[in-house]
Structure 1
Amino acid sequence: MDLFIFDRVLAAFTMGTHMLFTYWAISLPFFIVFAEYLGYKKNDPYYLALAKRFSTVMAVLFAVGSAAGAAIAVEFITVWYKWMFLVNEVDILPFEIEVMAFFSEVIFLSLYLYGWNKMSRNAHMVLGALVGMGSSASAVLIVLVNSWMNTPNGFNVEAYVQSGELTGINPLAALWPPAATAEVPMVLAGAWFVGFGSLVGYFSFRKIFSRHLDTQSKEYYNRGLKLASYLAALDAIFLGWAGDNAGKTLYQVQPLKLATLEGVMQTAKGAPMTVGPISIPGVLSLLSTWPPNPNALVLGYSSFVSSVQDPIWWMAHDAYDLHATLGILGAIIFWILALAYLKPSFGKAFSWLGLDNPTEKKLPLYVSFLIGWLQLIAWESGWVAAETGRQPFVIWGPMTTTGGLYTIQAVMLTSEGYNTNPDVLPIGIAIMTALVIAVAGTLYMLKRLFSGKEISQDVASITVSGISSTPQNPQLPSIKSSDSQTSSPRKSEVK
């Protein structure tokens, strides 16, 4: 295989695999903390059982995700070392801060896992929230580097394009490139949405395919399903704004990438929004501008020289359409489910869809299972769209005019950034093999984790600690606020 193709396949495989774990690291801590909070708030052992079991899942996924991240770091300094040189000279600060965020995440995760029953409840939940904040901060800092690749700053870009000399370096300015305004909210909102959506899919799967569920298992899965649906529906609001903001930002700072993602071949006023065979006039112009203008001019490929046009634009466009379609469908369905859970009258009005009892009826459970796990495809296709949409560049450059058309001055073309040393081949094969084994081992460990211990045992261990398996029983003592301030284990604490 040609090394240029192999290096790109290796990067796509490694990063695509790593992406399967990043959304868990960002979303799971918040799901767990919400479950723990509701367990104490409602005197409910099922929520606490959710928090305890999924905190172990979080640790397993964190370990494998970190290994995949280490593999990417190896690739940066071997396969794409020319790109890494520029990053090291201009934009290394986000990576350096990310190391501190990563270490903070590791420390807080360790304290959270070993802190059950050894500190106050409030302190323990704060640690869980800090795990989520640390993982989110790590994601943001990595995304800042990606944003810099799309809209590089912090040095004299024009001088570098013309002469190859790095001048006017300002690492602080490079910390927030223009494209970060679009990428950072989109990544955070998307990761939370996919994480919560995947949990909806998991709990629905268990409700559908588990045989002979006992009462405790049903209560456990029902609570997980409802909580994940609520969180996904809530995040859908943030995700909708993030997507709209991303389109408007691209219109301003990367019109060629916007044309690639939307498949705009001809520059036009009142540009239509096209998804598959459907085309709605003026909508792309309306959504891309602020204030909204349905007659605004949207640059298409016809305004750019052929040498800077994306050779695989169709892949970016199709992946983006799939990403957006699945995300919109997911948002609608999660909102319908959340309303059905919160408002029984709403569910009864749509009883023919099974929404009068969505945790038990087959149709809403199958829909929840399908749309929940389809968010994984949305997540991966979004990454494919974003990265292939930047081709043929590794690092974008300033847009200028030439002969009446626009061109992009490349800071680094993809064809210039890869490693031509044949030693890359065995290193890359070893990395891909290790990742395949790691993913297979993770699936095996998670299967053992979920099948090795009955849910009733988890609930019973919490019931023994003083929280009844019948939530909010008036004959049982509630969890007093003063208990949450204790710094030593008590009978009512989780064991």
Structure 2
Amino acid sequence: MDDLLAARSQMALSLGFHIIFACIGMIMPFLMAISHYKYLKTGLQKYKLLTKAWSKGVAIFFVTGAVSGTMLSFELGLLWPKFMEHAGPIFGMPFSLEGTAFFIEAIALGFFLYGWEKFHPWFHWFTGVVVGLSGLASGILVVAANAWMNAPAGFDFVNGEYLNINPMAAMFNETWFTQALHMILAAFVATCFAVAGIHAFLILRGKSVEIHKSALKIALTIGAFAAILQPISGDLSAKDVAQRQPAKLAAMEAHFRTEKAAPLIIGGIPDESEREVKYALKIPGALSFLAHGDFQAEVTGLDQIPNEEHPPVLVTHIAFQIMVACGGVLMLAGIAWLFGLWKSKAFIYHKKFLKFLIFLTPLGFLAVEAGWVVTEVGRQPWILYGIMKTKDALTPMPGLVYSFSLYAIIYISLAVIVSTLLIRQIKSLETDQDLSLPQNQ
């Protein structure tokens, strides 16, 4: 493994690990706040107990997300010093503001966790809302920085120099909104379906059923709406990619040849040497319509992109297919849940449907991981699209494979520790005697 691959692998591992905790850290406080609101409005103890149980999970994910996020920020400077030398003054603002949001989130979480019976009930609830809002702001700001890497703005690049720097223009670049919207909806979908799957499992176990049904209703109703909206945000993102990063779109769709009425490729295995996709289903004109809103529009293929600027097609295409497939299944499940909530409660609490929800538990995060693979691998060979290549940003320090190995051990250890804590927390939802409430509680 050469140094470039080791550095990219380390960043991929760090981002892939952190994004799970970032998603949960952004979304769980909102579920917690909804449950807390229901408790304050109804006085039912099941909502108080559910809020406290969820808040313990929020604390676990917050700490782990803080550690992994800090490591990730250090890696930017350690592995890619040439990039940070020039990019730091330009897109440093969203990272600085993200630090402020994180500071607010930490304070608000402390108030919420230790504020029971100490603050006014509605102020206590508000601190939980602040945890969610500040976490959401952190996520949007980080995505804005990543969007800048895909759509550089806020400076003039003249003779290798970065001039006329405007940090505000860099932060609010032309693609930050579509990327942020897509990421936030993905976080809602992934987290809500994961939470729903856990509580579906606990319902089938037959203990504290009323509490877990309430949890399932809160999580899956929000997740269902997010899953239904997600294809809309995906369409906006795809159209933006078609305009700004045609090579990425071509890799996503394994579109090797520029043509009008370009077909949408579903599945298949790209053969980059033969420039064809094997075993694929093709829908004539659909890619032209999705990319440009016209079934006859011309879609740029990889034949119009210099060979040295081709992203890895196989990885990008398969990741994109996984993301779309997972999102499609979750959207259909969300529609089924909302229909059942409206027409048939017996259906949504039937054993077969609950088992189906358990199967869906990891699917949202699989889609999130695949989506980030599409974003990052599809941008290659650029670290700053069209301006700086990844290989030119790499640190001259040798032996990066050892750094990658060390980080891998750290992340595996963290994963084991967090998994153990979560399993204990889930088991406590079954064994805690306080959860054994009458159905009207």
Alignment TM class, shorter chain as reference: over 0.9
Aligned-pair CA distance for 1:422? 2.4
Match of 2:70 in 1: 70
- Could you tell me which runs of 5 or more consecutive residues in structure 1 were left unpaired when the two chains were aligned: 348-355, 398-410, 464-468, 473-495
1-side partners of 2:321 and 2:85: how far apart? 34
| 2:256 equivalent in structure 1 | 265
Aligned-residue Cα RMSD (Å) equals 1.9
SS at 2:357 equivalent:
helix
- 1:297 has 2:298 as partner: yes
The letter of the residue matching 1:191 is A
TM-score of the two chains, using structure 2 as the length reference? 0.92
After superposition, residues 43-82 of structure 1 pair within 5 angstroms as: 43-82=43-82
Instruction: With the length of structure 1 as denominator, give the TM-score of the two structures.
Output: 0.83
Distance 2:57 2:28 in 1: 9
- Is the 8 Å Cα contact of residues 2 and 401 (structure 2) preserved in structure 1? no
Q: Which runs of 4+ in 1 moved over 6 A?
A: none
Distance change >3 Å, CA 453–CA 295, structure 1 → 2: closer
Residues 1:392 and 2:381 are matched in the alignment:
yes
2:216 aligned with 1:225: yes
Give the match's secondary structure for 1:422: coil
Q: 1:86 aligned to 2:76?
A: no
Structure 1 match to 2:290: 287
Deviation at 1:424, TM superposition (A): 4.0
Match of 2:31 in 1: 31
Kept in 2, the 8 Å contact 1:109–1:131? The answer is yes
Structure 1 residue 232: Cα displacement = 0.7
1:142-161 to 2 correspondences below 5 Å: 142-157=142-157, 159=158
| Bigger shift: residues 19-28 or 369-378 | 369-378
- Paired residue for 2:348? 358
Measured after TM superposition, the shift of residue 426 of structure 1 is 4.1
Say which SS state the counterpart of residue 392 (structure 2) adopts.
helix
- The residue type paired with residue 448 of structure 1 is R
SS of the residue aligned with 1:278? strand
**Post-superposition offset of 1:453:** 6.2
Amino acid at match of 2:373: V
1:231 & 1:165 partners in 2: Cα distance? 47
The match for 1:246 is: 237
Alpha-carbon separation, structure 2, partners of 1:278 and 1:425: 40
CA distance in structure 1 between the partners assigned to 2:429 and 2:263 by the alignment: 54
1:194 paired residue number = 190
5+ residue gaps, structure 2:
268-279
The one-letter code of the counterpart of 1:195 is: T
Distance change >3 Å, CA 45–CA 455, structure 1 → 2: farther
* 1:338 CA drift (Å): 2.3
The residue number in structure 2 matching 1:471 is 440
Q: Deviations over 1:245-288 (max 9, x none)?
A: 11121222222222221221111222222111222112222222
Out of 437, 441, 457, which is 2:433 matched to? 457
% identical equivalent positions: 28
Of residues 111-120 and 449-458 in structure 1, the stretch that sits farther from structure 2 once superposed is 449-458
Q: Does structure 2 conserve the Cα–Cα contact (< 8 Å) formed by 1:155 and 1:170?
A: yes
Q: 1:175 aligns with which of 164, 171, 178?
A: 171
Letter in 2 for 1:445: L
> Is contact 1:3–1:420 with CA below 8 Å preserved after alignment?
no
- Structure 1 or 2: more helix by fraction: 2
Tell me the equivalent position of 2:227: 236
**Larger of the two Rg values belongs to structure:** 1
How many residue pairs were aligned?
A: 429
CA spacing shift, 1:343–1:125, aligned 2, 3 Å: farther
Equivalent runs, 1:89-128 vs 2, <5 Å: 89-128=89-128
- Paired residues of 1:151 and 1:177 also in contact (CA < 8 A): yes
Aligned to 1:131: 131
- Kindly provide the amino acid, as one letter, of the partner of residue 287 in structure 2: L
What letter matches 1:287 in structure 2?
L
1:417 aligns with 2:393: yes
Match of 2:334 in 1: 334
The C-alpha deviation readout for 1:22-44, integer Å capped at 9, x for no partner, is 11011101111111122333433
2:307 pairs with 1:306: yes
Question: CA–CA distance in 1 between the matches of 2:435 and 2:263?
Answer: 54
